[in-house]
Structure formats: structure tokens, C-alpha cells
Chains A and B, each alone.
Chain A
Amino acid sequence: MQSDKTYQTLSDEQLMRQLASSGCELSFGELYDRYSVRMHRYFYRLLNNDAHRADDFTQELFMKVVEKAALFDPERRFSTWLYTVAGNMVKNEYRRTSRQTPPPPVDDFLNENFSEDHDNQVFAQHLNHALGELDETQRQCFVLRYQEEMSLREIAEILDCPEGTVKSRMFYTLKKLGTKLRAFAGAVMV
């Protein structure tokens, strides 16, 4: 039996292979520890800052990892596969609800108590509003690039579109956000 430390040195793909071949709990635990916070944050941002829904989606996502471990292609990067599955879940949710729910009101957001600086809280609130007004693909692009800090190639793979498309989408998303946050940016940034 390998120790927890040994599992920490294994790559994501190796852990997935172990999970698929023997249903190894330690492999799954290690993968969960590596990705749960990131995936929860991803869902939180794309589902209009709804922490409870983010919890549900995180649990469902890792349930898929357990159930579909045998279907994972070890030639592919685990992180890309995981974000692709998560993106599809969000897309299905958008389709199911047919329209995106508006971002939470200001008071709810300020009660979360995870921001030190008031200015940053206000900016974060405006940013979330602005993100909520983007279409789902633009929002996904922005979150993957600036929250998850992924390369354009990785984003292209996750969104299953050419890299050039991601580049141009990113540029126009930035311009759109700049326009939406212009008034706020003038007051806060100057």
C-alpha cells in the first residue's frame, strides 16, 4: 500500500489510471484535494456566485470522475478533461434554466466576508455584474484565462474551438468589460 506522500508525487493522469484500475480511494482523495477548490470557484463564478449550487455541481462533477474513470483517456490532460466536463455541466444548466439568473444583489455579496478591502469588494461586485451580462462563452473564456490562469491553447481545447477564435473572443470580451466597468473604474482606479 502506498502512502499519501507517494500519491502526492504522482501525476493527475497516473492517479486517474489507479482510480480506474482499482478504485483506489487515496488516488481519488488526492485528485479531489488538488482540484476541488478550483472547480468549486469555477462553478461559483459561472453560476452567478451561488455557493450552494457550486457545492452541488462540485459534488456531481467528482461523482462523474468516480463513475467515468474508466472512460478517461490517459493521453489527454486530466485538468483539461475535468474543465471540459465542468463546462458541459454549466452549459446544460444554462440550457435548462434557459436564461442566466442575474448576479446577487449588493447586500448579499457584501455579507460574504471574504474580502479585506472595501474598494476591492465594490469592484468585485461590479465585475460579477459585468460578467453576468456577458454571454456564456465570453464569461467562460474570461474565467478560464484570468481566474484559472490557463493558456489560450488549453482554453481552446476545453471549449473545443480554434485558438484564434479564443484570442479574438478574449480581446472583445476585455473591450466589453472595459466599457461596462468604465464608470466604476474611473471612480476607483484613478
Chain B
Amino acid sequence: MNNLQNFDIEQLLAERPFEQLTQQEKDAVLAQMPEWEYQQLHQMLNRSRAALKQSPAPDPAIRERLLATLRQQPKPQPARPAGRLVQLAQYRLPAWQAAAALALLLVAHFALQRQTVANLRTETVYVNTTDTIYKEAAIPVADTSSKVPVSRVNVKPRLTKNIVQPSLPTEALADTSSRIKSRLNDIPDTLPGFRLTATQPSGRSANEMKELWRLLGDVY
């Protein structure tokens, strides 16, 4: 408010003497300064304006010197029209648009991630792998073929000789089986150079797989 009054008075001082002011303007002026001071400042401003106009002219040589300098300046080159790729690379994007695009990408990423997780379902399944391992073993058996009368033999001895029947006692077999199982539990899933897999064909001889044979040797 005070500033506004100052501005008004400054303008009045520059424009009119005290006598030409309206009553309202006079009141505003008298609230700031007495009448004689206003008159004095008004006269001072009028004379100052005239005095301030008096000044020497600039040296005429300045113009020529400046023009000579301008002639020596390299002429600005007109800008070449940029190609489409350059224009695309130079395309200016407001910062808020870039920020909005980034925010949108983040939101979309998290939304999609959540949706994928919702589609997954965990189920408990039981996987059982059964394998049969054979090991060739020589065990003593009673040779009854020589004591049986030939008349009672209804099969050819040569044929019966070739059939080898493993006849381990059931208890021993059970014990061996449980021991193998317990040993196998101790063996890591992956062994160097050999990996036990559920897809291994059953019934193959261990002789065909040297690594398995070595493993079984280690187990026993």
C-alpha cells in the first residue's frame, strides 16, 4: 500500500505541480510530505530532465570501427535441413511425458508379474522310481543232475545246465536289498561321471555300464 502511494506521488511529481492536483491527490501527497517539498521536488525533476539531456555525442569513429569488426566476423552458416533420422533423434520430449511413460511401464510390468503368479498352482505329487539291479555272483548249489536216473530226466541235461537259477535265501536277499537302499540314500544325486536317472531302462546288465558296475562295487 505504501509502495503504491509512493508510486502515485512519484508520478504526480513528474507530471503536475501541486496546484493542479485534485483534492484527493493533494491529501495523498500531504500525507507523505509538505507542500513546499513537493513543489521543490517537482521543479527539481523538471530541470533535471532538461539537464540530463545534455551530453556529448559518441565518437563517430566508433561506428566505422564496429562495422569493420563486423566485416571480419565469419558469416553465420545457414543451418542444413536435418534428415528424418536426425530429426527423430533430435525430437524434444517434455520431461513429464518421459516420466509418465516410465511410470506406465513400471505399473504394467508389476501388474503382469502379479497376474502370472496368480495363474500358477502348486500341487503335491509323488514320484517313484523303481529299478532292478543285477549282479552276477557265483554261489555253491547242489548238483543233482548226476544222481538222477536218466529215465527220470524228462529234459535234456545240456539244456538244464545252461539255465542258471539264482537261489539266494529270501532273508539274505531282503537284507541285501535294504542295505543297498540305505547306501543309495547316502549317495549324492550326482556323481562324477555318472548320473542315476529315472529313465534308465530296466533290466540292463550292469556289465554294459562300467560306471554302474564301479558304483555297485563301491556300495558293497
Interface residues of A (CB under 8 A from B): 20-23, 25, 28-29, 32, 36-37, 40-41, 44-45, 51, 54-55, 58-59, 62-63, 66-67, 70, 112, 114-115, 120, 123-124, 127, 143, 146-147, 152, 164, 167-168, 170-171, 174-175, 177-178, 181-182, 185, 188-189
Q: In whole Å, how far is A79's beta carbon from the nearest beta carbon of chain B?
A: 17
Name the residue among A54, A59, A112, A120 with the largest chain B CB count within 10 angstroms: A59
Q: How far is the CA of A124 from the CA of B50 in the complex (A)?
A: 9
Q: How far is the CA of A185 from the CA of B66 in the complex (A)?
A: 43
Q: Is B170 positioned at the interface, with any CB of A under 8 Å from its CB?
A: no
Name the residue among B48, B53, B73 with the largest chain A CB count within 10 angstroms: B48
Q: Is B52 positioned at the interface, with any CB of A under 8 Å from its CB?
A: yes
Q: Is B178 positioned at the interface, with any CB of A under 8 Å from its CB?
A: no
Closest to B38 in A: A178
User: For A62, what are the chain B residues with a Cβ–Cβ distance below 8 Å?
Assistant: 62, 66
Interface residues of B (CB under 8 A from A): 2-4, 6-7, 9-10, 13-14, 33, 37, 40-41, 43-45, 47-59, 62-63, 65-67, 69-71, 73, 75-76, 78
Q: Is the CB of A146 within 8 A of B52?
A: yes
- Given contacts A70-B76, A146-B52, A167-B3, whether A25 and B47 have CB atoms under 8 Å apart is no
Q: How far is the CA of A171 from the CA of B67 in the complex (A)?
A: 42
Q: Is the CB of B70 within 8 A of A120?
A: no
Q: Is the CB of B56 within 8 A of A36?
A: no
- Partner among B6, B52, B58, B73 whose Cβ is within 8 Å of the Cβ of A58: B58
User: For B56, what are the chain A residues with a Cβ–Cβ distance below 8 Å?
Assistant: 40, 44, 51, 54, 112, 114
User: For A51, what are the chain B residues with a Cβ–Cβ distance below 8 Å?
Assistant: 56
Which label, helix, strand, loop or mixed, suits the secondary structure of the A interface? helix
- Given contacts A167-B7, A185-B40, whether A40 and B63 have CB atoms under 8 Å apart is no
Q: Is the CB of A40 within 8 A of B50?
A: no
Name 15 extra pairs, CB < 8 A, besides A40-B57, A58-B62, A167-B6. A23-B75, A29-B63, A40-B56, A54-B56, A55-B58, A115-B54, A120-B47, A146-B45, A146-B52, A168-B6, A170-B6, A178-B37, A181-B44, A189-B44, A189-B47
Closest to A147 in B: B52
- Partner among B40, B47, B52, B62 whose Cβ is within 8 Å of the Cβ of A143: B52
- Partner among A40, A124, A181, A185 whose Cβ is within 8 Å of the Cβ of B58: A40
Q: In whole Å, how far is B81's beta carbon from the nearest beta carbon of chain A?
A: 15
Q: Is the CB of A66 within 8 A of B44?
A: no
- Given contacts A59-B66, A152-B7, A178-B40, whether A25 and B71 have CB atoms under 8 Å apart is yes
Q: Is the CB of A185 within 8 A of B44?
A: yes
Q: Is the CB of A189 within 8 A of B40?
A: yes
Q: How far is the CA of A1 from the CA of B7 in the complex (A)?
A: 48
Q: In whole Å, how far is A108's beta carbon from the nearest beta carbon of chain B?
A: 12
Q: How far is the CA of A177 from the CA of B73 in the complex (A)?
A: 46
User: For B9, what are the chain A residues with a Cβ–Cβ distance below 8 Å?
Assistant: 171
- Partner among B49, B55, B66, B67 whose Cβ is within 8 Å of the Cβ of A41: B55
Q: How far is the CA of A178 from the CA of B45 in the complex (A)?
A: 9
Q: Is the CB of B3 within 8 A of A164?
A: yes
- Given contacts A55-B59, A63-B66, whether A22 and B73 have CB atoms under 8 Å apart is no
Q: In whole Å, how far is A178's beta carbon from the nearest beta carbon of chain B?
A: 5
- Given contacts A62-B66, A66-B66, A70-B76, whether A37 and B51 have CB atoms under 8 Å apart is no
